[in-house]
Structures are given as C-alpha cells and as structure tokens.
Structure 1
Amino acid sequence: MPRRPLLCMLLTLLPLFAQANGFTHLAKLADKGFLLGAEARLLDSGETLGAIAPERQLSPASVSKLYLAAAALDRWGPQHRFTTRLVSLAEPDAHGVLNADLVFDGGGDPMLTSEDLWRLTQRLHQAGVRRVAGRLVVSQWRYGPVECITTDRCQAHSRAANAYSALLSSAGVNYGSWCVSVAPAAVAGAPARITSCDSQAPIVGVDNRVETQPDDSGTRITAERVLRDSGDVMVVSGQISTNAQPRTLYRASSDPARQAASTLLAMLEQAGIEVRDGSAVAATEPPAGARSLAEVDSEPLQELLLRTLNYSNNFMADQLALNLVASPRASLVQAGGVLEAFVAGLPGHGPVTLRSGSGLTPENRTSAAGITVLLESMYHRPALFPSFVAALQSPANGVMRFLRRGSMTFQRQVMIKTGTLNQPVAVRAAGGYFRTRSGQWGVFAALVNGTSTTPWLNWQQVLDPLSADLEAMIDAH
C-alpha cells in the first residue's frame, strides 16, 4: 500500500521531467546559480517539447522588442508611414523670402536620417523658398525631451561613449547620434582629418587628438561625446595609419532636437537657403494656421521593424513605443502602459511589466510562456505575420554574427530575436520560431538571468546549449 501513493506521485511528475528534458543542455545553467525560464512547443498540435519554469517572471532585455513589434503592427498595419514636415504661417514672396519662422514638425519617424533632411530641403527649395526671415524652429510637441529612466540614458546627457543609449525626441534624426569621419592626413605626424558625416560645414564640435602614423602602423581610435559650454563636442583620440581607410564613429547626442536643428541648418545652407535668426527648439505644436511647405515620409512600418529588431535598435524601438501614446508629451512609462494594455488582450499570456519598448529598462519582466503566447498570436494573424517574422533573424544569414553557432539545423530552421543586458545582472534571452524536419511550425523562448552572485555570462554559454536543444526538437519532429 505505501508504494501506491509514491508510484502515483512519480507518474504525475513524469510529464514535468519529460518537458524539462527538452532543454537538457540549457538546464545545466541552473546548476551555476542562473535563473531560467524556457518553453518550446508546436503550434498546430500544441504539443510542449520542453519547459523549464515557463511561468517564471524574468528580464527579457531586448526580446521586449517582440512586444513592441506586435503592438505596432496591430495598431497601424505594415504599410503605415510617419510624416515629417516643414511648415510656416507664411508663403514665400516673389523674391523667395519667407517672412515668418520655418517650423520643423517632428513626426516621430524613428529612422529619419540626413538623407531625408536633404530631400526635405530640396522640396523646400522647389517650393520657392530662398531665405527665411525668421528662425528655424524644431518642434518636438509629440514627445521630447523624454525623461530618462535608465542609467545609460541619464548619463548620455553629459557624455556618451556609445550610440545605443541615445536620448529620445519626436524630432530626432540619425538615431539621436552624431557621426564623424576620421581620415589620415597626407603625412605621418600630422593630426588626422575629422569631419562631419553629414555636411562639409562643421555640425558638431570636434576635439581632435588623433595622430597620423606611417603606413601599416595600425589604427586605434576611441571617441566620447561630451557636453561643454559651447555645446556637444566629439573627443576623438588615438592613431590612424596614412594608408588606412576613413573610420566612421557614432555617439549619442546630448539633445536630439538640437542635433536635428544643427543638422537641418547645415542642409539648408548647402541648398542655398539662408536662415536669418538661427534655430530654436519648441515643445509646442505648430500654429493651427501653418501650411505645409515640404514633407517627407518614413519607410513603411514593416521596414522600420526589420531595422529595429535586426539591429536591436533601442532608439527606434522606444520612438515607436512613444508614437503609440495618443496624448502629446508622451513618456516611456506611458508607452510601457500602452504595450501592457496590448498584452492584456492576449488570452493566456499572464503577467507582464514593460517600462520600455526597447528592453533597455532592467525592470521589464515577462515569462517564457508569455513570449510563446505572443509569438503564437502573431502566427495566427496572416495579414501581419509575414511582416512580423521577417523582422527576426535567421542565424545563418542575420546581421548579428554571434548567432552563427551550432549546427546547420539551428542555423537554417530557426528565426530568432535575442536580448542582452549586463547591468544590474547579466541577462541573455531569446525567442522566436522554428520549423521541424516535417515542416511543422514551433515557438520557443529562453530567458537566462544572473544574480549578484552568479559568474559572468556570455552568449556562447547560452547559445550553444540552446541550439543543441532546439536541434534535437527539430530533428525529432
């Protein structure tokens, strides 16, 4: 008799053991103290192929961008475009003079670049404008400056040694980052030649500490953008060989709206359009009677999402999330609330905390089971799924070279989005789709979070076991 209860208990646990066995390699990370959540299942049959604490709430890092992509497609559809305008209360007179301010109405385009600004200035020239008797006013009334809620972005106001922590504005351009090009001088010993990527005229200040060295002596360059009394300055140090090709450097600006103003002023000057009174930044909507003089549309949303997810672009993701907020002066907390409301409409998802669309906020929380519910919901929306899945990467052909690990089965039959954080704890997360050997569709998610006492975690430690586990599932079905 005592054996029967024990046997019944073991029989009830067998399904749990079988599920965990689907991630036999990944599960070994738990022995080192890492917190794991994972799930893989087939979509048509619903069969669970593997699970490790699938309901556990963990940080997804940039896998959060899957929620942003799904919510954006649900709201706008794949062909939606954002419009950036130049407007004014005046029309150019017979001499091409605009006797009023020229207002740059930032439309929240997350991929607005210098090329778009150049197209905008050419259309303004085409409209007959040759001189602006007032100011260039950059309006970021939709959102901006957006309050920083992460350490990286808060520090980026005063200095930045990267581009991923760029600040946010509906009038931002070039992903909120300055760009300079470093080229060698003609002779060794002379300072390198450093120019803006976007204009022959200087746009951002440069503190040039790069020395030209003889042929084949190596190129080692570091750069930091600092905010000084004179404005943003790119401090560039190191050396470059006389026979080296120019190097391009990107660093987050201290104020994306003012960056847009400086860049657009340079474009207007090159187009032969004079602006008499310089530039200013405003948080108010353009006057109701303002007329559009020139417009430029963004790429369609499906293209924006491909860039956002493939390059895990934090600036683009959070810009898109802010655009989801209906009211002006949007904040990241409001944007996170919109995303959470979208998730609340997914049956069976469970709890979620989203403080940003990018995942740069370490407070974001979800579960592996929640991610697979999201992925399954998009799979069953044929009008949206092609654009959604196209934004994920194939390890064999994706832009992130670190994904090219594991067998060719993993390389060719998986579509994946990854997420990485190193502070305050290490996070390595992944989610996506796979096709089995018989052609069935499956979804998976794996979240690995460190603690204050766990060792350093790199992607090899996560991708190698994850790819081995997925390969076994794919081959078995």
Structure 2
Amino acid sequence: MGQLTRRGVLAGLLAGAAGAAWAEAPLVSLRPRPRGAVTPDAAAAALVKAAKLGGRLGYIVADAATGRVLEAVEETVELPPASVTKVMTALFALEKLGAGHRFATRVMYRGSFAQGRLEGDLILAGGGDPELDTDALAELVAALAAAGLREVTGQFLVYTGALPERERIASDQPDYVGYNPSVSGMMLNFNRVNFGWKQAGAGYDMAMTAEGARVAPPVRMATMTLAERDLPVFAYKAAAAADHWSVARGALGKAGGRWLPVRHPGIYAGEVFAWLAAAQGIALGPPQLRRDLPAGAVVLVQREGAPLPELLRRMLKFSTNLTAEAVGLAASAATSQEASGAAMTAWARARFGVSGRFGDHSGLGPMTRLSAAEMVSVLIQARQDPTGVQLLGLLREAGVPDATGKPQSKAAMRVQAKSGTMNFVSNLAGYVTAANGKTLVFAIFAADVARREAVPVAQRDQPKGNKAWVGRAHRLQGQLLHRWAGLYL
C-alpha cells in the first residue's frame, strides 16, 4: 500500500461513506513467533526491570507488511485495555454506521402551528449526539425563534429514547468524576454540569451552570451545599429528577471550578433549553421526559452533529468516554450497554479472530479484556481494508521518543497510536512508520490488576502511588518504541 498523508485520508473520509466490511480473509495476519526467535535481549529486559511496575506486562511488535513478530513478551496475556478499547469502537462504528453518519438533534411539535402560536406540544428530540453543547443548543433555539415560534400552549417534552439509558458508564468509579457520566439519547455538555465557586467574606458564592463559550445558563436540577467535613471532598445524593451535591468547605480555596457528572441528562438538557427559549421570549413548561417519540410529530428545526470521522478523531485524541459509548450503542442498536458490549465482542471475534471480550465501548468498566497480540492482529488486518485505513487518519500522531522515553516532535519517523490509562493500568498500541514507508505495529499492555482492585472506589480518582506508576509505564513505552525504531526500521 502506498504511503497515505493525513490530509488525504481525512479528505477521502469526508467525501464518501465507509468502505464495505471485511468481506475476504486478510492478505496479511499476525504470524506466530518461532519459539525462542524473538526473545528480548538483556537490554530490553533491563528496561522492563527498571520500570518496577509489578503486575503483568505484555508487549509485541511486528512487521506490518508481513505480520512477522519481531519481539514479544507475554503477548497473549489478556489485560484491561482501558481506552485502547476506543480503537475497536472506532472500527466498529465506521463499519456499522458509515463515515457519513451524523447524530441529529431535532425540535419537533405535535398539534397545529400557525402565526407563531403552537397549539400543542413542543418536543426536544435527542438523537444521541455526544458532543451537543450549550452553544449548539442555543443555535437550535435561535433557529426556532427564526422559524417564528412565539407561544406554546401544550407540554414541553424531551425525547431521550434514541439510546439506552444508563446512570453511569462504569459502576466502580467515584460519584464525582466527570469522565463517568450517565448515558442517554439526550445529552448535553458530555452530561456534565459546571460547579464554580468564589470566596465571599466568610462563605462562598457558588453556582451550577451549563457553561458554554458564549452563554452559561444557570442550572437548578443540580444543587451544591457546603459541608463541614474533611472527606469526601464531594458527596452525591440522588433525587427523582435532581442531583444534590455537597462539598467540603476546606477543599475549595479562594476560587475555582469543576465539571461534575449529571445523572438526569434529559431533565438537565430540557431545563437549559427552556432557559435559552425564555431568553428568546418563548415560555415553556417544565420538561417532561419521553422514551418514545410521540406519533405524528413534525420536525420544526434540527441540528446535525459532526460527521462520524471527525467525531471519532476527537474521541481518540481526547479519549472521551461518553462519545465512545454513544457511537458504540448506535452501531450495535442494542438495548443496553451490556448487550452492546456483547455485540461488539461477537463482531470482533468474527471479523478479527480475537478471543477477548468487551464490557463497554470506552474501556472504563472492569469487564473488558484483550491481549497485546490480539490488538496487534487487529491493527495489521485493519490497515488492509478501506474501513480500517480510515483509522490511520484518525489516530493521534507523535514523534518516536528518544533514548530516555521522552516524546520528540514528528520527524522522519512517526507514531500513530492510542493510549489507555486507568489506575495502575497503562497501555499504548498503534503504528511506527519510517520515511520510506516501512511500518511496525505494536501493543504494550501493563496492568497491576490486584493493586487496582485494592483501591476503595471513593479513592479511585487519584489513588496513592498511581501517578508515579503511570509515569514509569509511560517512560517504558517510550523506551521500547525508541528501541524498536532503531532495531527494525
């Protein structure tokens, strides 16, 4: 295959739909290593020993053109892939949904609409767009006003049934971490609310807002109170249609802000929409949630999200868990996260021959397992098909690290890869390409699962020792990449 430029790949993506599924056996697959032929030398073993990671480490590097394994250590051990899972999710979504897919958010009505007056119900119909934010919602409301709407006599309905509902992506994370929000067909600001505070005399001015770049509507369904305690810093109490938070007074300092997860996304989006509508002179009642779309509803205005490749490129770059879950659920059309993970597992086994399993689409939960060898096999096969080639244009690029593992700017050799990091889990998988086009495929999976599971859930945001452990793992990844580039490219 000729060398592809990033611009050329992305241009092709945006111009057409995804390629057909892998209809034939791959031309190249991972070739089993001859016994003893690719055992790492003493230098590689010294790098691993110096990292002092504990747990298990599995890695493998292979020639992308031939599938020949060049070096491997415990490459068949299945470990938590963390956010490397998002590579599989991207391939799954591209094949099932197509590159032209866009998530659409619509404003609909049922009844009669004439001369600015709606005799009936207004419906905010979520389409599962994970990137919908306050500014985009404001654009929808402005379009609604431009369409002439001035009065609504009926109910304000919020349709949330485009995707299965889930209170949080993973059950084994602290309540307050913003990367573990709820999932719904109606989502806003990655289902997070902004908590801001500023010291005022002996107390604090505190606000919960749906902060956007141009407007920051106040939020009433999420509340915050001060608590006289040391720990936990944040505590959550659920209500039927509200999120109640408290924060330790001593943890706040003079001023700051933090995004907190939303557990009632339909109510949240509906409240913000109604506030924006009121600013345009359109009064709406309290949002009423619907899992089914009312029969006979007519589209008044709509907003389409980014084309799927753009969405996936940002998902891979910023490792957004909610985007991964949304596109995975849409691709599987399953009725639950568990069923959707099982659908992607069956697809990966049929398509790529892997034996691992996926409990979700982001890699955040505890059920997903994959080996480094399986990941490399997928990467080798993927680059031989149009759908997989699209992945090359979406992965984040960097230069090959130096001898100390420190990142370098892109030069003659470049790395296109996805990382995956959780507490005492650090992974990296992707491609290393030389100026002459020769490419290596690699995966490095490291995890101390016992140490991870020993951390109480309430402390899993920043557990003791994790930062140093992950730092050593990142250094080892860089050192191995430097070594392989020097030996095999």
TM-score band, normalised by the shorter chain? 0.7 to 0.9
Q: Report deviation, 1:444.
A: 0.7
Structure 1 residues 193 and 166, CA gap change in structure 2 (3 angstroms):
closer
Q: Report deviation, 1:36.
A: 2.2
Q: Residue 174 of structure 1 is aligned with which of 189, 198, 213?
A: 189
Q: Report deviation, 1:341.
A: 2.8
Structure 1 residues 261 and 408, CA gap change in structure 2 (3 angstroms):
same
Q: Deviations over 1:170-223 (max 9, x none)?
A: 1111111112343565xx55633535225444444443649xxxxxxxxxxx65
Q: Superposed, which structure 2 residues align to 1:357-396 within 5 Å?
A: 357-382=361-386, 385-386=389-390, 388-395=391-398
Q: Report deviation, 1:256.
A: 1.3
Q: Residue 192 of structure 1 is aligned with which of 179, 200, 205?
A: 205
DSSP 3-state at the match of 2:357: coil
Is there any run of 5+ residues in structure 2 with no aligned partner, and where?
1-33, 228-232, 455-464
Per the normalisation by structure 1, the TM-score is 0.80
Q: Report deviation, 1:378.
A: 2.6
Structure 1 residues 32 and 168, CA gap change in structure 2 (3 angstroms):
closer
The number of equivalent residue pairs is 429
Could you tell me which amino acid in structure 2 is paired with residue 103 of structure 1? I
Structure 1 residues 142 and 207, CA gap change in structure 2 (3 angstroms):
closer
Q: Report deviation, 1:162.
A: 1.5
Q: Residue 286 of structure 1 is aligned with which of 273, 276, 294?
A: 294
CA contact (8 A) 1:232 1:253 kept: yes
Q: Report deviation, 1:290.
A: 1.0
Could you tell me which amino acid in structure 1 is paired with residue 78 of structure 2? Q
Is there any run of 5+ residues in structure 1 with no aligned partner, and where?
1-11, 211-221, 398-403
CA contact (8 A) 1:352 1:366 kept: yes
Q: Report deviation, 1:269.
A: 1.2
Task: Give aligned-pair identity as a percent.
Answer: 23
Q: Superposed, which structure 2 residues align to 1:269-348 within 5 Å?
A: 269-275=278-284, 277-287=285-295, 289-326=296-333, 330-347=335-352
Q: Report deviation, 1:32.
A: 6.1
Corresponding position: 1:207 with 2:227 = no
Distance 2:57 2:120 in 1: 60
Distance 1:433 1:180 in 2: 40
Structure 1 residues 300 and 224, CA gap change in structure 2 (3 angstroms):
farther
CA contact (8 A) 1:81 1:297 kept: yes
Q: Deviations over 1:308-355 (max 9, x none)?
A: 12221111111111111335xx211121122123212334x3302001
Structure 1 residues 180 and 270, CA gap change in structure 2 (3 angstroms):
farther
Q: Which residue of 2 aligns with 1:7?
A: none
Structure 1 residues 410 and 373, CA gap change in structure 2 (3 angstroms):
farther
Q: Is 444-453 or 109-118 further displaced after alignment?
A: 444-453
Distance 1:296 1:16 in 2: 53
Structure 1 residues 38 and 184, CA gap change in structure 2 (3 angstroms):
same
Q: Which residue of 2 aligns with 1:419?
A: 420
Q: Which residue of 2 aligns with 1:215?
A: none
For the aligned residues, what is the CA RMSD?
A: 3.2
Q: Residue 124 of structure 1 is aligned with which of 144, 155, 159?
A: 144
Distance 1:32 1:92 in 2: 65
Q: Report deviation, 1:27.
A: 4.2
Corresponding position: 1:227 with 2:238 = yes
Q: Which residue of 1 aligns with 2:433?
A: 435
Q: Which residue of 2 aligns with 1:251?
A: 260
Structure 1 residues 231 and 451, CA gap change in structure 2 (3 angstroms):
closer
Q: Report deviation, 1:293.
A: 0.6
The structure with the largest alpha-carbon Rg is 1
Q: Residue 151 of structure 1 is aligned with which of 171, 176, 179?
A: 171
Q: Report deviation, 1:376.
A: 1.8
Q: Deviations over 1:254-279 (max 9, x none)?
A: 2111211111111111221111x321
Distance 2:320 2:177 in 1: 12
Q: Report deviation, 1:40.
A: 0.8
Q: Report deviation, 1:306.
A: 1.8
Distance 1:317 1:430 in 2: 18
DSSP 3-state at the match of 2:369: coil
Distance 1:333 1:239 in 2: 38
Structure 1 residues 337 and 255, CA gap change in structure 2 (3 angstroms):
same
Could you tell me which amino acid in structure 1 is paired with residue 123 of structure 2? V
Corresponding position: 1:464 with 2:475 = yes
Q: Report deviation, 1:466.
A: 2.1
Q: Report deviation, 1:108.
A: 0.8
Q: Deviations over 1:212-237 (max 9, x none)?
A: xxxxxxxxxx6555435782235454
Structure 1 residues 367 and 280, CA gap change in structure 2 (3 angstroms):
same
Could you tell me which amino acid in structure 2 is paired with residue 300 of structure 1? P
Structure 1 residues 384 and 200, CA gap change in structure 2 (3 angstroms):
same
Per the normalisation by structure 2, the TM-score is 0.78
Q: Which residue of 1 aligns with 2:159?
A: 139
DSSP 3-state at the match of 1:356: coil
Distance 1:281 1:126 in 2: 26
DSSP 3-state at the match of 2:450: coil
CA contact (8 A) 1:108 1:142 kept: yes
